[in-house]
Amino acid sequence: MAEITRDVLIVGAGAAGLTAANDLRKAGLSVAVLEARDRVGGRLWTDVIDGAMLEIGGQWVSPDQDALKDAIEELGLETYSRYREGDSVYVGPDGQAHRFTGEMFPVSPETEAVIARITGILDALVAEIDPDKPWEHPNAAEWDSISWDAWLRSQTDDDEAVRNLAFATGSAMLTKPTHSFSLLQSLLMAASAGSYSNLVDADFILDKRVVGGLQQVPLRLAERLGEDVLLNQPVRSLEWSDDGIVATTDDLTVRARYAILAHAPILYNRISFVPPLPRRQHQLHQHLSMGFVIKVHAVYDRPFWREQGLSGTAFSPYELSHEAYDNTNHGDERGTLVGFVSDANADGVFELSAEERKERILESLSHYYGPEAKNPVVYYESDWGSEEWTRGAYAASFDLGGLHRYGADLRTPVGPIHFACSDMAGAGYQHVDGAIRMGHLVAANIVDARREAGAPESIG
Ligand code: FDA
């Protein structure tokens, strides 16, 4: 068993862990990043499948995501805008494709008025929420005890309005059925993007992409750390005390003063802690779970929908693929569509054979773009539910009642063990921006803790 000693051990080479490691290095501390997979990036993964470059994980950058934008600039990466010229498509309860422009779906004037009214209420509630501390709102307990679906249905009897309002934080973001999480969790999701209106505005939330793929952010961060990033090193056990930690993988022991667990909180229980984590952490970690969505990539010989005056942006709370976009790569002659199949719909299609699933999903895309959508030259489904070191997509959120009960302790360190991940961010929650923010925050907290401890000599 090889053994190394560092000031800080970081578990997980995703955006959060690599950001923290770079900050700590800059502060003069020695680090080791242990990564279970054979690659860095975690939920950021840009790969070439059958000759097509695909963003298998996260990809979009929105204008409010300052931490991510700063990282992109600092790393010398370039961005480009998502294609959005032309009409969007909405499939309503009649099953027909309706073209529209702007943010409001082409629904009846009555339904439009209901959506506008409830959006106004939601924007007002979201403005009262601090995304870093949603549990501190005076109504937090009440808002955490009603499901997102039940709250919306208490506001109106208009089913089409409810479905359209629900899916922004439901299928499209938390990727869980809307009866399974609370109004408070939904308000946090919206507050993390600045407002509910921002969250439903595709031109805002899905604004830009990085030329060559967003995985370059973690790849370049890892490059700077060189041999201090160790791949194929799943941390199996972590002994901890006030004097520090000893972590072991299958063939390595790392001694360090501090540890950062920089991965989805649902994976903490993959590590044996000695002594066990405290009661509070044992309880709270059980109230978090990953959402589930299939990201579907369909590449065509050309972006044929543009010839029909379509932007590629498509929505329907009635379709298997509830949203889809033009995802053509920068400078690529071929056209790529990306669609999403979420929560219970994703469970359902995984009951089918791969061929039947593909057929059903492409059929759904054809309802937006016409029959040509059924014949891509490359087809791929990102299935993060099968990834041992992620187990779902996009991220983890609390069950009904869990956020106000446990949220405040999610980031609380336990002895020398600190926590960082997009799944515990305020601004940028469940996004790369949030992962980077949490990476910066945890590094600053460790630097402060060291200073308070009298800033001992670096041990690495
Ligand atoms: P992340 O999960 O990325 O990294 C944790 C790392 O820890 C992993 O590499 C894992 O292997 C490792 N690990 C876990 N346990 C370990 C152990 N015991 N030992 C060693 N290593 C261990 N965001 C966005 O901003 N825009 C977008 O468009 C999208 N879209 C999107 C699509 C899809 C399909 C997914 C899955 C996700 C997104 N996201 C997104 C979300 C975004 O990708 C995500 O929030 C961040 O990349 C998470 O970064 P973290 O570093 O917090 O965790």
Question: Do the domain assignments include residue 144?
Answer: yes
| 409 belongs to a structural domain | no
Q: Cβ(215) to ligand 1 under 6 A?
A: no
Of the residues 138, 165, 200, the one at which a domain ends? 200
Residue 112: DSSP 8-state: H
- One domain, residues 228 and 171: no
Query: Is-cis flag, bond preceding 406, omega within 30?
Result: no
Task: Name 32's bridge partners.
Answer: 9
Residues 252 and 299 in one domain: no
Q: Is the CB of residue 218 below 6 angstroms from any atom belonging to ligand 1? A: no
Query: Last residue of some domain: 200, 235, 250?
Result: 200
Query: How remote is the CA of residue 13 from the centroid of ligand 1, in Å?
Result: 9
> What pLDDT shows up at residue 284?
97
pLDDT of residue 202: 87
Among 329, 306, 321, which Cα is nearest to 54's?
Answer: 329
Give the CATH number, domain containing residue 147: 1.10.405.10
Of 367, 386, 405, the position where a domain reaches its end is: 386
- The two most distant CA atoms of the chain are separated, in Å, by 69
Ligand 1 pocket residue status of 422, Cβ below 6 Å: yes
> Which pTM does this prediction carry?
0.98
Whether residue 199 contacts residue 173, with contact meaning beta carbons closer than 8 Å, is answered with: yes
Question: In this structure, are 111 and 134 located in the same domain?
Answer: yes
Q: Quick one: CA torsion of 343, 349, 355, 361, rounded to 10 degrees?
A: -60
Residues 157 and 180 placed together within one structural domain of the fold: yes
Residues 140 and 152 in one domain: yes
Nearest CA to ligand 1 atom 47: 43
Task: Assess whether the C-beta atom of 267 lies below 6 angstroms from ligand 1.
Answer: yes
13 lines ligand 1 (CB under 6 A): yes
Residues 226 and 183 in one domain: no
Q: Quick one: 273 and 422 in the same domain?
A: yes
What is the pLDDT at residue 454? 87
Residue 375 DSSP label = -
In a domain, residue 404? The reply is: no
pLDDT at 457: 75
269, part of any domain: yes
Number of domains in the chain: 3
Beta strands in 226-385 (DSSP E): 229-230, 237-241, 244-248, 252-261, 272-274, 288-290, 293-300, 310-315, 323-326, 335-342, 378-382
**Which residue(s) pair with 46 in the sheet?**
55
- For ligand 1, the distance from its centroid to the CA atom of residue 430, given in whole angstroms, is 9
234 lines ligand 1 (CB under 6 A): yes
pLDDT at site 458: 80
Residue 431 three-state SS: coil
- The C-alpha atoms of residue 90 and residue 110 are separated, in whole angstroms, by 17
Q: Evaluate: CB of 9 within 6 angstroms of ligand 1.
A: no
Residues of the chain predicted below pLDDT 70: 460
Q: Are residues 145 and 161 in the same domain?
A: yes
Give the DSSP letter string of 37-90: SSSS-TT--EEEETTEEEE-S---B-TT-HHHHHHHHHTT--EEEPP--SEEEE
- Rg (C-alpha) for the chain, rounded Å, is 22
Structural domain including 360 reads 46-65+76-84+205-210+292-386
Whether 226 is covered by a domain: the verdict is yes
Would you say residue 370 lies in a domain? yes
| pLDDT number for residue 103 | 85
- 204 CA distance to ligand 1 centroid (A)? 22
Residues 190, 240, single domain; the answer is no
Q: Give the pLDDT score at 96.
A: 96
CATH of the domain at 422: 3.50.50.60
Q: Domain for residue 426, yes or no? A: yes
Among protein residues, the one whose CA lies closest to atom 8 of ligand 1:
42
Ligand 1 pocket, residue 24 CB under 6 Å? no
**Domain co-membership, 362 together with 314:** yes
